[in-house]
Each structure stands twice: as C-alpha cells, then as structure tokens.
Amino acid sequence: MKNVALMVDSSADITKEQEKELNLHVLRMPVIVDGKEYIEAETIQDEDVIEALAQKKSVKTAQPIVGDLIKMWEDLLKDYDEIFYLPLSNALSGTNKTALQLAANYQGRVTVVDSEFVCYPIVSMMLMVKEMLEKGYSCPQIKEKIEKEGELLAVLIPENLDALKAGGRISPAVAAIAGLLKIVPLLNIKHGAIDLEDKVRTLKKAYQRGVEMVTQDVDPKDYIWMVIDAFDPQKSEDCKKLLEQATGQPVEQHSFKTVILSHTGKGTIGFGRIKKLKY
C-alpha cells in the first residue's frame, strides 16, 4: 500500500491536538482582524475571534497563500508517495479551484477532491478515506467515490446575524429586517453552498425546524449525525438530545473553530448529516 498523506485545511474545524491524533495534515488559513493578518490556531485562537466580533471589529478570512500550499505539498512529498487533499467547499472558497489546477503539475502524486464539504464533516469523510486506503482503494478511486456519492446536508441557526452580515453572507437589509421582526433564519448548506431555507420566530422553533430539515426523507442509519456549536456547549447538549430523539442514532458533538467561527459568530448551532460511503 502506498504511503498517502491525508490533508485538509482549517475550515475542517480541527484542533492541533486532533490533527496529531488523527494523523491529518492541516493547511492553516489566514484570518484578518481590522486589517491585520493572523494564521488560524497559530497566531490567533477561537477566543480572540469571539472577542473581536463582540467588539464589532472587522473579521475576515482569506484563501491560503499559494506559496504556502505548494510548500506544504513539496514538504509532504519528501516523506509520502502521494497526497490526498479534501479542501473547503468549492462554492465557499477559491482554494479548491486553485488546488485542483496546481495538482495537475504533480504527475498524479497529488489528488484534490472537487469538494462540497465544510466544517467537521470534512474530518468525518477523511476517516472514511483512511479506511478505503487500507482496503486497497487508490486515491483517484476515492476521489471519484466522494465526488459521486459524498453528501453533506447541514442547517445553520445563528443566534444573531452580525457576523454573517459582516462577512457578506447576508445583506445588511435582510439582517436589519430580521432583527426588527425578531426572525431567526435557518441557513441550508447543500452542495457546499449556503442558502436561506426557512425563517421562524423563536430559537426554540428554529432548533425544532432544523432537526426536521436534516432528518426529512432519509434513513437515519445511512448517515453520520452531528451537532456543531459556537461557544455554547449547553445549547449543543440540548440540540444533541433533539437530534438523537429524531434519528435514534448516536450524535457527535463538535465546535466551530476560528475560520468558520469568523462567519457564524458566537451562539450559532449547526445540525448536520454526512452520508456513509459504501466500500
């Protein structure tokens, strides 16, 4: 079996400890606060982003510098036969397209998935990739399987819309109207893109509706289920119970990290499912 380096970027909401524990290689992404650039998990931490958002500072993210991406590949290829890279969704970042283009220069030694994944589901998918490699699948075969059969559906429920408005994910007009009318939006992540799916009057109703949306018309046994929170573990625990009751399946709990947190803001809850690949 070839020695394959498994690579993600920090949109996968993975800590330094998990990176080592799972033997994943993480390209840490830039975060820009009031014009000053930091690197996620290295020169800026989750708590710093929460504080900056609370102080109404400008918090943005950027694509990794191409030179950093290439250097990481070059370094990994000194020790590994191949690299398998699952980046942030192509609908949310240009990193995916850039990486796909650059991989053509590596004579098949770098495989980049045309991704529709975001947040911790990227890590869940990479754990399946590990198992497929152990069963003898090649990197191109795994790439094809993910692109054809991989499926992520998630519902994001923000506690407030400040971060989403600042990041350009929703317009200031929509945010103002939602705030005035006390409307809670439910944002649907499907095929890697974010769309407004529904809106309700209270957070309690939003969580109930979020569970309905992710569990509708599927066999729960075919999916991995998770709740992701933004610095609100108690709310996450309550939402986990709702999702467990609806699916009858175990529900993982994870947290948004710096890159995604910059766009969601504190208090956001995500309900998600990722399809189990058959191999």
Maximum CA pair distance of the chain? 59
Lowest mean pLDDT among 51-55, 70-74, 143-147, 249-253: 51-55
Q: Which amino acid is at 102?
A: L
The strand pair at 184-190 and 193-200 is best described as antiparallel
Contacts of 18-22 spanning 24+ positions with Cβ under 8 A: 18/123, 22/123, 22/126, 22/127
Residue 168: its pLDDT value, please? 56
Residue 186: its pLDDT value, please? 85
Distance, in Å, from the CA atom of 146 to the CA atom of 83, rounded to the nearest integer, reads: 16
Chain segment 93-103, per-residue pLDDT in tens: 888 999 999 99
Residue with token string 């054809």? 148
Average pLDDT, the chain: 91
Mean pLDDT over 164-186 rounds to: 60
- Does residue 170 share a domain with residue 139? no
Residue 163: its pLDDT value, please? 58
Is residue 199 pLDDT above 90, yes or no? no
Distance, in Å, from the CA atom of 200 to the CA atom of 184, rounded to the nearest integer, reads: 5
Tokens of 208: 């109930």
Residue 170: its pLDDT value, please? 55
Lowest mean pLDDT among 68-82, 156-170, 185-199, 217-231: 156-170
What CATH number should be reported for the domain holding residue 210? Answer: 3.30.1180.10
How much is the pTM?
Answer: 0.90
Range of the domain at 235: 152-275
**Residue 40 gets which letter from DSSP?**
B
Chain segment 101-152, per-residue pLDDT in tens: 999 999 999 999 999 999 999 999 999 999 999 999 999 999 999 999 999 9
What CATH number should be reported for the domain holding residue 14? Answer: 3.40.50.10170
Residue 67: its pLDDT value, please? 95
Mean pLDDT over 156-174 rounds to: 64
Tell me which of 104, 125, 148 is where a domain ends. 148
Task: Look at residue 39 and tell me if it is in a domain.
Answer: no
Helix (H, G, I), strand (E, B) or coil at 149: helix
Residue 193: its pLDDT value, please? 77
Residue 166: its pLDDT value, please? 58
The strand pair at 251-255 and 184-190 is best described as unpaired
Task: Look at residue 198 and tell me if it is in a domain.
Answer: yes
- Does residue 13 share a domain with residue 140? yes
Tell me which of 97, 129, 148 is where a domain ends. 148
How many structural domains compose the chain? 2
Tell me which of 102, 117, 148 is where a domain ends. 148
Task: Look at residue 44 and tell me if it is in a domain.
Answer: no
Distances (CA, A) of 27 to 3, 47, 77, 207, 236: 19, 20, 15, 33, 27
- Does residue 245 share a domain with residue 157? yes
Task: Look at residue 252 and tell me if it is in a domain.
Answer: yes
